[in-house]
Amino acid sequence: MVTKINKNIIKALAVCTGFFSLASCREHSVTPTSGLVPEVDNIHTFAMNTGDFTIQLHNRLSDSIITSTYYLTGSTNVSAIGLGTYVDPFFGRTTASAYLQVTPYKSGFAFPSGSIMDSAVLVFPYLSGTTGAKSYGDTTKALHLNVYRTTSKVEVSGTYYSSSVLPTEATPIGSGTIPFTNYKSSSKIATATKDTLTAQLRLKLNNSFAQEIRNADTANFLNTTAFQEYLKGLYITPDLTQAGGLLSYFLIPSVSSGDQKNLAAARLEFYYHTADTVLMSSFPLKTDVCGYFTNYNRNYTGYPAANYLNKNSDSVLIQSEPGFATEVTITGLMNIPLAVINKAEMVFTAVNLASPDNIFTPIDVLTPVLMENGQEMPLYEVVDNNGNTNSSGSLFVNPYAQKRTIAGIEYTQYRINIPRTLQHARIEGKNAVTIRLRGSKNYPGMFRVLAPGIGAGGETNFQFNLIYTKQQQ
């Protein structure tokens, strides 16, 4: 029970810890090695570590995230889909398949009378760079893709998840093998337009599909609604009979105006000719009227990760969502005196994979959250004393991957700092706190962390370090 005297101390500490935490946030954004944490002197400032607490690691599974409103990290309003498959030696197979819709570039579209259809090509832009698309896995490999028509509409107003599926026809309307180098940087000349096309995945569809579109009743092209009742959607999925080994994101830029070419858009291209000319028309994916989403499937069967599903272990297992997350429960907070907690840092080090599996790299940024009554809550570090989002908080928590050399070997390490969250738990008289360490939604289906737990021994094991300062009388 909290006594009347202790309540006064708690009020003082609550103000103090708010000051220390937020001051540290501001300082960390300028000087990461700030001196705001005092030296341990065992007179006023004391240290506690892993052995002073009971720490339990529990592996969870997040099986679904919204992918119908996914924006590529670092880009402004640039949507993206994922395509591909790879097999991680620990986490098993990940497969990304996309559903999407297109529309004629203008209402009342019609192929010229007497024109002859030559081909149809499905196109997705791919832009390399910090604000462009990304790939994960073995970039010496290719994407082996099949394309199907859906039998229900991909709704622009629908909310779709990484676990969502739609029914499709049994027979593909196109198949192709596209090496990574073909869509990363290669240039092609579109003979119908004389344009040079670069950084695009281009998958030719069956001639029978192209001819069907050419011969369709003109009523199907009157407007977007009519066309999407006719062609309800497209499903692009990896051919799992092929080796695979690569997952890539492709851009869906916003397209607002009608353009027969629309060479920057994700689109269907139709090439056709008349007696005296060669033509191309584009049916783009316009995000204001066309739905899209990606299904990310994780299959752990037959791989080590299957033995860790929804149970305690002595390992930290994290995937970019959807996938594994690890909950860290720290018990023994009442052993901490009522004092200012200056640092409360969880440290864990990712296992290095040997070649050729070292292509499965760790996550750049984690998303630690506080668990209360089974619900995710923001850490106290990322909100200010008024409950508003504190933009500097994530810098103070420091959920970023860092390189560290241990015994002459370079590792990826994480040092998650949560003093304010523990301070609040201690003030409220709680003896335990649970922090969920999960991957971000920034790069669904890509990246992972496999780190040893407490019992591993050595400098690469899981550690918890806490420093507190007693209030002087």
Residue 88 vs residues 95, 199, 424, 449: alpha-carbon distances, Å? 11, 27, 39, 12
Give the whole-angstrom CA distance, residue 369 versus residue 371. 6
Q: What's the pLDDT score for residue 188?
A: 75
Q: Report whether the peptide linkage leading into residue 238 is cis, meaning its omega lies within 30 degrees of zero.
A: no
Residue 165 vs residues 42, 69, 469: alpha-carbon distances, Å? 59, 16, 54
Residues 6+ apart with CB under 8 A from 165: 295
DSSP state for residue 461 in the 8-state scheme: S
Contact 280, 192 (CB under 8 A): yes
Count of beta carbons in the 10 Å neighbourhood of residue 63:
14
Q: What's the pLDDT score for residue 387?
A: 76
Q: What's the pLDDT score for residue 426?
A: 95
Count of beta carbons in the 10 Å neighbourhood of residue 427:
20
Give the whole-angstrom CA distance, residue 344 versus residue 394. 15
Q: What's the pLDDT score for residue 243?
A: 87
Give the whole-angstrom CA distance, residue 11 versus residue 19. 13
Look up residue 4 and give its amino acid. K
Q: What is the pLDDT along the chain (473 residues), one digit of tens a residue?
A: 344 334 444 444 444 444 333 333 322 332 333 456 788 888 889 999 999 999 999 999 988 899 998 766 655 557 889 999 999 999 999 999 999 999 998 889 999 999 999 999 999 999 766 556 789 999 999 999 999 999 999 999 999 999 999 999 999 999 999 999 989 887 777 777 777 778 899 999 999 999 999 999 999 999 999 999 999 999 999 999 998 899 999 988 877 766 777 888 899 999 999 988 888 999 999 989 999 999 999 999 999 999 999 999 999 999 999 999 999 999 999 999 989 999 999 999 999 999 999 999 999 999 999 999 999 999 999 988 777 777 778 888 999 999 999 999 999 999 999 999 999 999 999 999 999 999 988 889 999 999 999 987 788 999 999 999 987 65
Q: Is 453 left (phi over 0), alpha (psi -120 to 50) or beta?
A: beta
Residues 6+ apart with CB under 8 A from 301: 92
Helix (H, G, I), strand (E, B) or coil at 156: coil
Give the whole-angstrom CA distance, residue 416 versus residue 402. 11
Looking up tokens 């002087």 gives 472
Q: What's the pLDDT score for residue 58?
A: 97
Give the whole-angstrom CA distance, residue 42 versus residue 232. 70
- Ranges of beta strands (E only) in 105-155 are 116-125, 135-137, 142-149
**46, two tokens:** 């004391």
Look up residue 464 and give its amino acid. F
Q: How many residues does the chain have?
A: 473
**331, two tokens:** 């018990």
Contact 362, 412 (CB under 8 A): yes
- 3-state helix, strand, coil split of the chain in percent (to 5) is 20, 40, 40
HSE-CB for 465 with a 13 A CA cutoff: 12
Count of beta carbons in the 10 Å neighbourhood of residue 80:
28
| Planar angle of CA 423, 49, 395, nearest 5 degrees | 55
Count of beta carbons in the 10 Å neighbourhood of residue 299:
16
The domain locations on the chain are: 4-63+307-469, 79-290
Sign of CA dihedral 64, 65, 67, 73: negative
Q: Among the residues of 216-293, which ranges form H helices?
A: 224-230
Backbone torsions φ then ψ of 53, nearest 5 degrees:
-135, 165
